[in-house]
Structure 1
Amino acid sequence: MFVIDDLSAWEILESRGRPTVAVSVTFRGGATGTTQVPSGGSPGKHGGVERRDGDPRRFGGLGVLGVCRTIETEIRDAVVGRRFTGLTELDRALASLDGTADKSRLGANATLGVSQATAVALAAHRGVPLHRLLSGCAGTSERLPLPFFNVVNGGAHATNRLRMLEFMIAPVGAPSIREGIRWCAEIYAMLRHNVLRGHGNINLGYEGGFAPDIVEPEEALRLILEATVDAGYTPGTQIGLAIDAEADNLVADGGYDLGGPVVSTAGLVDRYEQMMRTYFVFSVEDAVAAPDRDGWALLRSRLGDRLQLVADAALGTQAANIRDAAGTGLGNAALIKPNQAGTVTETLEAIAAAREAGWTAMISHRSGETGDTFIADLAVATGVGQIKAGAPAGGERVAKYNRLIEIELRSGDLPVGPPL
């Protein structure tokens, strides 16, 4: 049980220099919780709606002063002084107050901010780490997640000609989070050296990955593989590679434009199979466009037993969408973004839906991040065993990895990586 005594919100900046929301909650008895809400570059069609001011005189219309006022007036009036039995009841009250399926009235950036800040305060109130509180809410066993580091950026996250969005490394053979982070930081440093030597610049994308002026996805994978070997690591056994293709943005002329001649869906699947063999790719997100159901079926039949096929665009971190996608064979893993769900409880429900479907899940940051580390605790708490939080550079990305190191040191012998 808890009672909220005070609730406040203010406008801050995220990593792209755009505004977002910070929220603070104070409980009766003095426990407090503060959080900062991230913002995505690809809001999607199915997730919660971020509210923006629309005033062109401030931040090009992207301000969130109206969201802050909503939190400090309508939401405050609804929750301050009220006794809640737990986080789920608070989140249900927020969803009911909003009254829409996509949080568009209050804004998912408002509801998530209040929900996360309340979770942080509740952990402080009970004297437990945040991941322990969330694990109890979810009824899950804790695991340390395998981190996916975004080291080459393209698509909407960069200004180069590379069409696919993200190219990642994961320390699949590391004995601990600390060692895995070290390995990937050393590969990132070697990649920086190689990119500078070969391309004459070290342009960065939104998520801290390098953005050399390359075109074909295999060029990015080749750069990463070379840096991995140069840094002294073995591809496949120590380091695996992963891709976020964001294939909805690759659709062209009845096929997919990867930067060269347009390829058919079957041709794209052929490319992925070759990437698995040559570049040790073991996970691809949004490998074909969300509406391409025949493409998803082909992927599942040819590669589904060997390749993690992460669905994002078609899901929006909504439990109902995950159940529908699993029923129609769209992928075998779900990307989880709390700001699409709109509350912590709905995020946990989305993860539960993935588990019930026999899918894996991966907790994700957003392109517009802050120094908040909530998703690191969430990844540990829910035991999904996977997190992507950007490059091992930039304070807003590194904060998540540093929090995982802290949890590992303080929590003893937690298992690492996705459950088998």
Structure 2
Amino acid sequence: MEAGGRRARRREAAEYYRGQRVPERMEEALNALFPLSPGDLYGELANYLSKYSKAPVICKLVGRKVLDGVGQPTLEVEIYCTVKNYEKRICSTVMSCHSQIPENALPEKIEADEKERNDCVNTAVEWVNESLNTMLRDLEPTDQCQVDKMLGEYFTNKVEEKKKIQRQEEEEEEEEEEEEEGTLALPPRTPSPATPPGKKKSAKTGKKSSVPERPIPPAEPAEPVLCGSLAIGGTSLAIAKAGATISHIPLYSHIALLKHEQVHVEQSPEEMTLPLPMVTLLNCEKTSPSKLKLVKEVMLIPPVQLSLKQGIERVLDIQKEMTRLLGSPGKMPGPQPADGKKGKAQNSGKKSLPQFLKRISHLGCLTTGYDDVEQLLLLMQTACSNIGLELGTDVYLAINCAAHELMDYDKGKYEILTGTFKSPDEMVAMYGELIDKFPFIIALIDPLRKEDREQWSNICCALGSKCYLIAEDAATCISKLKTDQTINTPVCSGVVLKYVNETKVSDLIELTGILHGQRHITILGSPDGEASDDSLVDLAVGLGARFIKLGGLSRGERVTKYNRLLAIEEELAKNRNLRETKLEFVAFAEESQSENQLSDELPPPEQD
């Protein structure tokens, strides 16, 4: 009977608890304590407990060969982390290739470049999948400094291995030459009396010796690119993206925090300024494999008073008008002079119009030819005037001169046009006249070779208070720029930095900190072989770059980055973290007498 009674009581209890009274009371109590639905409550509880779980660590790196925006091979790096005991793909990044795209290059040169590019990418894939995959395992992706330190040591070891192999090859060649000389046992050659040293050589020069030319500094040898170096930059950037993803913040915020911790900047990492875009409008093609006229790129810079969205729209309007003018040269109006005085020196009727539009460049902009730079600038004025805009007020210009491609080393002068040569000193005077005539040009990129350091100093003293003098070719190798907390470049207003090869995120942070401390401006630029990865924009925003040079407003790999810039502007404006941008030129001539003196800011554009 007792057993039967117990069973009956159990049944009664079970029926009682299946009813609504106790669950209703429990739900009321829970609602009083936690005003959330059960689903939300469990989510909050999971988030709370996750704070005490083990931090995600890197478990695998995957490198693979992919294509960039122009169909050339490049490197992709994927990061996998162990998150709550599960392997999870966190992110990936695609590197831009360091190789410049040859224009009108000879077939053998193109073939050699393609082979070099393939070898570099294949070696980089091997490094990522083997050595780096093992080396970085179990590290936290948020520890950027430690990762970059290990990457730097790995790269240094690879450089030393390469040098050792080269020394061994040179020693073997020397031994072979000595053996050949010993076998031949030729008598020593005596100098011919017909060619005594010194005197005869100078006599041959004739009249040329009566007008001595100051010799130009020879071109510095190109920095060698270690095969596989893409793996270093690709892995460092992928780790930074993984750290941002793990921290649940945008990449630009993660970079700003890293900079704040690494170089101790005073600027709050929460408040940011957007870099002004240098939008390439025209790419001026070469007329032969080795000749480039004075302008390689013409870029538009919107005024700081406009939002980025408004500035891009304005550039698009100018681009449409330029496309119309270049596409129908027969109906194109003659270029108008900038003002009455300057108009007397311009005879627009005798000048031929620029060559018609041919194609969209790999830079994502219009491609055209021209007779001289003034003709091109006057045409730009016409295009802006046709749509009710004024250069110098509603939009500014920047010109990439690429002077290192103009030098004729036989003559020791720059060939700015076919058959027109100028010495480095004459180039400085020419730029002064150009800026006086067209004051809406606020930036000259590579107006001289990096070797002409004396002339860089002269042009900065002459024009530094009127426009930015920017070095791009002189800053191609970021690892060589920093020497003992100084920047190894000519005197200039700023430099264009490109994230390529063995560049690491920590290097970029340190370098921009030094540049800003020395009041240089930083421009982050896209290389020729650009990929669709938009991380460059986040880097520019997080690092506080003054400008960003992305190419034109065509081609997917270019437009993707402009879209990312617009999205960041919208996000920062929504969170009220967007600070106002200012443009100030450095008065180099005045700074030689008084330190840290700035010229006036650019005049604000007239409001529509």
TM-score normalised to structure 2 length? 0.62
Q: Provide structure 2 residue ranges, at least 5 long, that are not aligned to the other structure.
A: 1-54, 102-110, 161-222, 261-266, 330-354, 585-608
Q: Is the 8 A contact 1:244 1:287 kept in 2?
A: yes
Aligned AA (2:72): R
Q: 1:418 to 1:342 in 2, by over 3 A?
A: farther
Counterparts of 1:198-217 in structure 2, within 5 Å, are: 198=329, 199-217=355-373
Query: How far does residue 276 in structure 1 lie from its aligned partner after superposition?
Result: 2.2
Select the residue among 258, 261, 282 that pairs with 1:152.
282
State the match for 1:15 in structure 2: 69
State the match for 2:532 in structure 1: 371
State the match for 2:478 in structure 1: 318
Q: Is the 8 A contact 2:141 2:240 kept in 1?
A: no
Q: Is the 8 A contact 2:494 2:520 kept in 1?
A: yes
State the match for 2:579 in structure 1: 415
Deviations 1:44-97 (A, max 9, x none): xxxxxxxxxxxx799545222232122111111111223466112111111111
Name the % identity: 22
Q: Is the 8 A contact 1:173 1:237 kept in 2?
A: no
Select the residue among 414, 417, 421 that pairs with 1:259.
417
State the match for 1:396 in structure 2: 557
Q: 1:296 to 1:265 in 2, by over 3 A?
A: same
State the match for 2:512 in structure 1: 351
Q: 1:416 to 1:174 in 2, by over 3 A?
A: same
Give the match's secondary structure for 2:416: coil
Deviations 1:307-361 (A, max 9, x none): 2111122233537625687587521201111115611111112211211222111
Q: Is the 8 A contact 1:152 1:168 kept in 2?
A: yes
For 1:157 and 1:21, locate their aligned partners in 2 and report how far apart those are by CA, in whole Å: 33
For 1:175 and 1:152, locate their aligned partners in 2 and report how far apart those are by CA, in whole Å: 22
Structure scoring higher RCO (CA < 8 A, sep ≥ 6) equals 1
- Indicate whether 1:281 and 2:339 are aligned: no
State the match for 1:167 in structure 2: 298
State the match for 1:179 in structure 2: 310
Select the residue among 252, 256, 260 that pairs with 1:131.
252
For 2:463 and 2:252, locate their aligned partners in 1 and report how far apart those are by CA, in whole Å: 34
Aligned AA (2:59): D
State the match for 1:270 in structure 2: 429
State the match for 1:300 in structure 2: 460
Greater CA deviation, 267-276 or 397-406? 267-276
Query: How far does residue 305 in structure 1 lie from its aligned partner after superposition?
Result: 2.0
State the match for 1:53 in structure 2: none
Deviations 1:350-394 (A, max 9, x none): 211211222111111111111111111111111122101000111
CA RMSD of aligned residues (A): 2.8
Q: Is the 8 A contact 1:167 1:220 kept in 2?
A: no
For 2:310 and 2:483, locate their aligned partners in 1 and report how far apart those are by CA, in whole Å: 36
Select the residue among 335, 350, 357 that pairs with 2:496.
335
Q: Is the 8 A contact 1:384 1:419 kept in 2?
A: no
Q: Is the 8 A contact 1:173 1:239 kept in 2?
A: no
For 2:244 and 2:287, locate their aligned partners in 1 and report how far apart those are by CA, in whole Å: 35
Give the match's secondary structure for 1:234: coil
State the match for 2:133 in structure 1: 76
Query: How far does residue 269 in structure 1 lie from its aligned partner after superposition?
Result: 2.0
For 1:85 and 1:408, locate their aligned partners in 2 and report how far apart those are by CA, in whole Å: 25
Q: Is the 8 A contact 1:12 1:22 kept in 2?
A: yes
Give the match's secondary structure for 1:268: helix
Q: Is the 8 A contact 1:143 1:382 kept in 2?
A: no
Greater CA deviation, 181-190 or 398-407? 181-190
- Indicate whether 1:28 and 2:82 are aligned: yes
Query: How far does residue 110 in structure 1 lie from its aligned partner after superposition?
Result: 0.9
Q: Is the 8 A contact 2:496 2:525 kept in 1?
A: yes
Q: Is the 8 A contact 2:480 2:488 kept in 1?
A: no
Query: How far does residue 134 in structure 1 lie from its aligned partner after superposition?
Result: 0.4
Query: How far does residue 277 in structure 1 lie from its aligned partner after superposition?
Result: 3.1
For 1:251 and 1:36, locate their aligned partners in 2 and report how far apart those are by CA, in whole Å: 34
Q: Is the 8 A contact 1:145 1:384 kept in 2?
A: yes
State the match for 1:50 in structure 2: none
Largest Rg, 1 or 2: 2
Q: Is the 8 A contact 2:497 2:523 kept in 1?
A: yes
Greater CA deviation, 319-328 or 270-279? 319-328
Q: Provide structure 1 residue ranges, at least 5 long, that are not aligned to the other structure.
A: 44-55
- Indicate whether 1:245 and 2:401 are aligned: yes
Greater CA deviation, 127-136 or 298-307? 298-307
Aligned AA (1:415): R
Aligned AA (1:39): C
Query: How far does residue 415 in structure 1 lie from its aligned partner after superposition?
Result: 2.6
Query: How far does residue 12 in structure 1 lie from its aligned partner after superposition?
Result: 1.5
Give the match's secondary structure for 1:258: strand
Give the match's secondary structure for 1:7: strand
The aligned length equals 409
For 1:57 and 1:288, locate their aligned partners in 2 and report how far apart those are by CA, in whole Å: 28
Aligned AA (2:281): V
Give the match's secondary structure for 2:451: coil
State the match for 1:46 in structure 2: none
- Indicate whether 1:383 and 2:544 are aligned: yes
Query: How far does residue 408 in structure 1 lie from its aligned partner after superposition?
Result: 0.9
Q: 1:190 to 1:10 in 2, by over 3 A?
A: same
- Indicate whether 1:192 and 2:353 are aligned: no
For 2:311 and 2:441, locate their aligned partners in 1 and report how far apart those are by CA, in whole Å: 17
State the match for 2:338 in structure 1: none
State the match for 1:49 in structure 2: none
For 1:417 and 1:157, locate their aligned partners in 2 and report how far apart those are by CA, in whole Å: 39
TM-score normalised to structure 1 length? 0.89
Deviations 1:236-260 (A, max 9, x none): 1121111111111111222211114
Q: Is the 8 A contact 1:2 1:85 kept in 2?
A: no
Deviations 1:144-189 (A, max 9, x none): 1110011111357998964532111110254211111111111112
Deviations 1:242-290 (A, max 9, x none): 1111111111222211114112223322332233233311111111111
Aligned AA (2:433): Q
Q: Is the 8 A contact 1:245 1:285 kept in 2?
A: yes
Select the residue among 445, 451, 472 that pairs with 1:291.
451
Aligned AA (1:306): K
Q: 1:213 to 1:125 in 2, by over 3 A?
A: same
For 1:188 and 1:38, locate their aligned partners in 2 and report how far apart those are by CA, in whole Å: 26
Greater CA deviation, 308-317 or 155-164? 155-164
Give the match's secondary structure for 2:64: strand
Q: Is the 8 A contact 1:111 1:342 kept in 2?
A: yes
